[in-house]
Structure 1
């Protein structure tokens, strides 16, 4: 015999339309630890590469191409993206393509370390092209040609990675920015090769040089030797202390007069009269003419048609060697470093 239906029971919580909620068994102890997440730093002091004449030996060293551009940190935060220069200046608006690509990366929070570059037709980074895309030194133009070559990951989804060894940081970076990307953010790939062989190949392809990194090192700010740079051609920053006029040269600049630091003093190290084009010379002349002075900042000897300027502009100069009397040999002008980049001025030992 069929049993009669049971009387419907009351809904679980009485009111069918009421949300289902649970009740804590007891109040949470305020002293109980929360999930461990590291606070995201406003800025991390960048690790800088120490210049060496030859690549290091040993299995702990890994190698990358040396990129010639502006060192940047890309901060991906809940509120948006920030792009900071080496000196901590906010240049987010100057790299819109990089900022837009950072928003598309599959991560909630991160800090990527890398270099903004513009590549030439052969895939080599060209500092002059990068500067022109930004409107020259002191310019305010945004560059849509610049791409970001990411080579380290310092913060990832709530975790500070600066105390983690490089090999693990690179593993996470390659998951976030896979090799072979052709977007505005790309991976600066590690190259498994003998350092001497890689340097020779880099120089044959007219690259600036290579970077060697200790794969067991943590991330520490400053120039401490965990990262090394080995250059094909010497390139350093020198202060412009004047120029010689010339009616036959671009911008009327016959030669720039350059100085290096020696302790608290400046020392004249010769001049450079090549590497200019019409545009770069015109922009440089405009910058220098705002800084004219009557008394020399350093003794340059007797120079014909010399215009003296305050030593405030840092020129990136490529050179092959030094003469016996301490002057640059086979020097060529590459461009002006921006103040926000905090470029180092060559220090004479």
Structure 2
């Protein structure tokens, strides 16, 4: 027998059929947090978006793209059954936390991977941030404020595989500054008075923390467009030398790409880093790219880099230096 919550949705008169699948509400990327009393904020988790469907005879864990990951996330499925509700749909994010409590996408990928890993799938946690359906009530028509009011007694205070993604009532810009200073992925802003809307809208907004550093250009990969660049090949300092940190393929216009290729073609040279890549054109390491990026991968490569500008290499003082302990 399912638990009956003391909190009941407003304006409902008869049970609603449980949806077989709900397309997720997606946050719109914006430059800065919104202002006003109708906005609440959460940490932006660096993981996989999932929905947990609890039904009388089964539990399903479905990805944003519609794939069934229930067998891969058995500990989350088991705990979902133990929440005590006959039917339930939770919206949230699967993550693995590092030793500082931050979500780490690389650790999550290893825990989910088929290769031997130091990370166990049981380390994967599900942070629930929305409640879409519970015991006969479709809650999507309700404002977020009420959905959260119903969600919290179900998952708040749990320390197992399913946990509550805490809502922060704070100044958005200050919360964003603190989140970035602590190395988090960013923050999510949600309008408290809006219903749940599948697809992307400005009811939910994401503000990501971006890093900006300088990297030596060591070559490029040609574009399929004649005379243009597909990707810049970038390197960072490591000890007395340079180490390849990945390619950057966005951030320039078509005309800028052509001019950049003309510039690099004038300084073609042998590889300045240990890199073998078919079709790559290597250059003397005399130019520096200013690059904005999100984070580092487990292989010490830039994640989601975007080109912001170029300058000459006067000395190595302004070039990013890799920690000698990092893998290359």
Identify the TM-score tier after normalising by the shorter chain.
0.5 to 0.7
State which of 164, 172, 197 in structure 1 corresponds to 2:174.
197
Aligned residue for 2:16, secondary structure, equals: coil
Q: Does 1:185 align with 2:162?
A: yes
2:81 aligned partner: 103
Report if aligned partners of 1:77, 1:108 keep a CA contact under 8 Å in 2. Answer: yes
Greater share of strand: 2
Aligned residue for 2:170, secondary structure, equals: coil
Report if aligned partners of 1:54, 1:196 keep a CA contact under 8 Å in 2. Answer: yes
Report if aligned partners of 1:72, 1:116 keep a CA contact under 8 Å in 2. Answer: yes
TM-score, L = length of structure 2: 0.64
2:113 aligned partner: 135
2:308 aligned partner: 322
Structure 1 unaligned regions, length at least 5: 1-34, 236-240, 271-291, 305-314, 333-349
TM-score, L = length of structure 1: 0.61
Aligned residue for 2:180, secondary structure, equals: helix
Partner deviation per Cα, 1:286-331 (whole Å, 9 max, x = no partner) = xxxxxx9x8x8xxx7x348xxxxxxxxxx98244762269xxx97x
Closer/same/farther in 2, CA of residues 160 and 198 from structure 1, 3 Å limit: same
* 1:155 Cα deviation after fit: 0.7
2:201 aligned partner: 224
Q: Alpha carbon RMSD of aligned pairs, Å?
A: 3.9
Closer/same/farther in 2, CA of residues 260 and 176 from structure 1, 3 Å limit: same
Report if aligned partners of 2:42, 2:187 keep a CA contact under 8 Å in 1. Answer: yes
Partner deviation per Cα, 1:211-268 (whole Å, 9 max, x = no partner) = 1000001111111110011112269xxxxx8998x9xx9xxx9454454599xxxx99
Aligned residue for 1:48, secondary structure, equals: strand
Q: Which runs of 4+ in 1 moved over 3 A?
A: 241-244, 253-262, 318-321
Deviates more, 1:141-150 or 1:76-85: 141-150
1:215 aligned partner: 192
Q: Does 1:113 align with 2:99?
A: no
Structure 2 unaligned regions, length at least 5: 1-12, 213-229, 261-276, 284-300, 312-318, 323-328
Closer/same/farther in 2, CA of residues 243 and 103 from structure 1, 3 Å limit: farther
Mapping of 1:151-170 within 5 angstroms?
151-170=129-148
Closer/same/farther in 2, CA of residues 303 and 324 from structure 1, 3 Å limit: closer
Name the CA distance, whole Å, in 1 between partners of 2:302 and 2:136: 38
Mapping of 1:288-327 within 5 angstroms?
302-303=281-282, 317-319=303-305, 322-323=308-309
* 1:36 Cα deviation after fit: 2.1
- Which has the higher Rg, Structure 1 or Structure 2? 1
Closer/same/farther in 2, CA of residues 318 and 136 from structure 1, 3 Å limit: farther
Aligned residue for 1:226, secondary structure, equals: strand
Q: Does 1:124 align with 2:102?
A: yes
Name the CA distance, whole Å, in 2 between partners of 1:49 and 1:322: 25
State which of 10, 27, 31 in structure 2 corresponds to 1:49.
27
Mapping of 1:5-84 within 5 angstroms?
36-84=14-62
Closer/same/farther in 2, CA of residues 45 and 142 from structure 1, 3 Å limit: farther
Aligned residue for 1:88, secondary structure, equals: coil
Name the CA distance, whole Å, in 1 between partners of 2:302 and 2:73: 22
Name the CA distance, whole Å, in 2 between partners of 1:118 and 1:101: 17
